[in-house]
Amino acid sequence: MPRDLVDSLRRVLGSEHVLVDTDLRAGYEMDWTGRWDATGFAAAVVRPASTAEVASVLAACDAAGAAVVTQGGNTGLVGGSVPRRGLTRPQVVLSTQRLRAIGAVDEASATLTCGAGTLLVDAQDAARDAGFELGIDLGARASATIGGMVATNAGGVHVLANGPMASQVVRAEAVLADGSVVGKATGPIKDNSGYRWGAILCGTEGTLAVVTAVQLRLLAPAPESSRRAAVYGVDDFASATDLCGRARKLASVRAVEAFDAAALALVCAHLALPAPLQRPCDVHVLVEGDEADLALLAAAPYVRDTAVGTDAEATARLWRYREAVPEAIAAHGTPHKLDVALPAAAVAEFAAAVAGVAPDVVLFGHLGDGNLHVNLLGLSPADDAVDSGVYELTARLGGSISAEHGIGVAKAAHLHLARGADDIAAMVRVKAALDPRATLNPGVILAGYAASA
């Protein structure tokens, strides 16, 4: 790390927010899964507290030839938020954890402006305190940041009703690699005065700009009666998919989730919980809606058993089985977490085929939008041969190799399975125009296509 760059960063942020000590950097150099361990590969970790400070950091790093890896809550699963092994130039991790300012809710326009480092749960609380609801939710709400969710276009459990993160973003303020500031996080909902940076930057994983603040759309809160949940036991993913189709016709339904028997067994062992149903079933489907609609679904001929949460406490207990799946898997070992999406008609075929690709496969996910999280246990972190097989199977069935976690470094070599040559070439041109020195998150999404880092 060039000494003059460190000195420059310290002048901007203060020494306490430029971390160069090995022990202080360590927590920023390994991802949540433990698979992407880059301990020792960051030259420094910086923690700016404003858009102006982010701009100064990026300008200094870009001029010095240092790479910048933006990191929010570090809950990513594809290695996109930690330094890269093998990169020959210095790497600076830019943490957004101090960009947490939350503005007052604009009740007339039903919007909320907040910093990129704002935790999802804090944004949800701010919306709720003003009588609104944020249209997105996920299990990692206490650690995932708004900026990270924009970067990956996160989905979560309410995509069926409200769409992914891109549907929640009205506008965004961001900083380009050279320190230029684009967009703003306040203003009217209707604004067609040019490029909409909020829309452009959703899903770009920090490769085009660093998002510093976001204006979010808020919704009227769902009635308490539609917040109940039920778990249905079925024999296979074909039945689960049919049940999802039935659920889509019911006005109160906001979420349709699924997890297989292996996922349930891990959760029950990890949390010392009894099974939610009396009868063992191969697939469990959790649906959120009102009691009348949940009762209609229970009457489907292939539903073998049902548990209904008739109040908030019972509903929370049922949701716990689904939301605890990731932590139960992590407690079992370091997984290969493959986030894919399938057309509804292909979900059952995919689930049957993927069960034979590894010694220990665990399936769960957001059935309402065809997003399955394939977790492979018992493999070494570096073994990606099985990963390739899963991605190829997904592509053959007309699916996407990334539903909501991004491409990161984990899937960069498989991008061709999701995007055509012309599509990738256009992405490369956009990257080169906004980040000609490949300063921002090199190796993510376009590794092997963009200019060498």
How far is it, in rounded angstroms, from Cα 391 to Cα 395? Answer: 6
**Whether residue 26 sits in one domain with residue 175:** no
The answer to whether the predicted template modeling score (pTM) of the entire model surpasses 0.75 is yes
Q: What is the CATH number of the domain that holds 344?
A: 3.30.70.2190
212 lies in the same domain as 326: no
- Per the domain annotation, does 407 fall within a domain? no
In a domain, 187, yes or no: yes
Number of domains in the chain: 3
CA distances to 30, 149, 250, 353, 356 from 397, rounded to whole Å, are 33, 27, 28, 11, 16
Query: Are 148 and 174 members of one domain?
Result: yes
Give the pair of three-digit tokens for residue 109: 């326009």
Non-local CB neighbours of 431 within 8 Å, separated by 6+ positions: 207, 208, 438, 446, 450
Is 440 within a domain?
no
Last residue of a domain, one of 194, 219, 244: 219
SS3 content of the chain, % helix, strand, coil (to 5): 35, 20, 45
Where does a domain end: 201, 219, 237? 219
Provide the CATH number for the domain around residue 211. Answer: 3.30.465.10
444 lies in a domain? no
- Give the chain's residues under pLDDT 50: 452-453
Is the domain of 237 the same as that of 125?
Answer: no
**Same domain, yes or no: 320 and 283:** yes
Phi/psi zone of residue 445: left (φ > 0), alpha (ψ -120 to 50 degrees), beta?
left
Residues 189 and 261 placed together within one structural domain of the fold? no
445, part of any domain:
no
Q: Report the interhelical angle of 385-396 vs 347-354 (nearest 10°).
A: 160
Query: Would you say residue 236 lies in a domain?
Result: yes
Question: What confidence score (pLDDT) does residue 450 get?
Answer: 57
Q: Are residues 240 and 344 in the same domain?
A: yes
* Alpha helices, DSSP H, located in 27-113: 51-64
Using the 3D structure, point to which of 186, 219, 252 is the last residue of a domain.
219
Q: Examine residue 420 and state whether it is found in any structural domain, yes or no.
A: no
Q: What is the pLDDT of residue 356?
A: 80
**Domain presence at residue 328:** yes
Same-domain status, 129 and 184: yes
Tokens 């698979």, located at residue: 35
Give residue 453's pLDDT. Answer: 41
Q: Are residues 215 and 284 in the same domain?
A: no
Judge whether 431 and 450 are in contact, CB under 8 Å.
yes
State which residues form the domain around 301.
224-396
CA dihedral angle for residue 281, residue 285, residue 289, residue 294, rounded to 10 degrees: -30
Give every CB contact of residue 179 below 8 A, 6+ residues apart in sequence: 55, 56, 58, 59, 62
- For the domain that residue 22 is a member of, what is the CATH number? 3.30.43.10
What are the C-alpha distances in Å from 146 to residues 52, 67, 112?
19, 23, 12
Give the C-alpha separation, 170 to 172, whole Å.
7
Please tell me the distance from the alpha carbon of residue 313 to that of residue 320, in angstroms, as a whole number. 11
Amino acid making up residue 354: V
Whether residue 242 is found in the same domain as residue 382 = yes
Residue 285: predicted pLDDT: 98
**C-alpha–C-alpha distance, residues 244 and 285, integer Å:** 8
Residues 340, 236 share a domain: yes
290 shares a domain with 263? yes
CA of residue 84 relative to chain centroid, distance:
19
